[in-house]
Amino acid sequence: SSRVVEIQSQMSERAVELLGLPEDRPCLLLDVGCGSGLSGDYISDEGHYWIGMDISPAMLDVAVEREVEGDLLLADVGHGIPFRPGMFDGCISISAVQWLCNADKKSHSPPKRLYRFFSTLYTALARGSRAVLQLYPENSEQLELITAQAMRAGFTGGMVVDYPNSAKAKKFFLCLFVGASGTLPKGLGTECADGEEIHQAKFTNERYR
């Protein structure tokens, strides 16, 4: 529906904004779980290039029909990110990473699949770049699991929560740094009425060593 498209577009915009890309040059981004290429359209509009990965042939067929500008790869990110080291200037993912928590096959171990995804993503990203993964966690355990595997793979950063006080508008963005740890961006709508900020969880590698 058009509402879904609208929400997807807003989240794509926010994810790209949280990447903090340089404004003076086009960047190459990876879109994990790119689906029909809606996020890609926004990336292209902003003057950047992208490669999209998705596990669904049907969704990628739609992207091809829509003649998106990015390159498309049919793949399960739980098997890893098959690109050369330092290739991408950033990665975004909209509503996809939580699926790695599901064990669809007997052989699937969610922690192993998450670690494989994050460790190969870490390698594929240029030093100093970011990955911003918007996700719908089922519960706090799932959030812990995802974050723990990201930190194990070498990322620093943490969760940016937009509109934490709104049941409807609340959105989770896992904002990860490669190399030098940046400052975690502020979530939208986190100013309380009295002007005090809601303090968000910040993760560092130390906690998981």
CATH number of the domain within which 69 lies: 3.40.50.150
Structure tokens, 204: 């560092």
pLDDT tens across 131-164, in order? Answer: 999 999 889 999 999 999 999 999 999 999 999 9
pLDDT over 90 percentage in the chain: 75
The distance of Cα 101 from the centroid of its chain, to the nearest Å, equals 15
Structure tokens, 65: 């029909």
Q: Are 43 and 50 in contact (CB under 8 A)?
A: yes
pTM for this prediction: 0.88
**Rounded Cα–Cα distance for residues 88 and 121 (Å):** 9
Mean pLDDT of the region 69-85: 97
pLDDT tens across 182-203, in order? Answer: 788 889 987 655 544 444 444 4
Domain count, the chain: 1
Residue 208 has pLDDT above 60, yes or no: no
Residue 185 lies in a domain: no
Of the pLDDT bands very low, low, confident and very high (cuts 50, 70, 90), residue 181 is low
Provide the residue range defining the domain that includes 144.
2-178
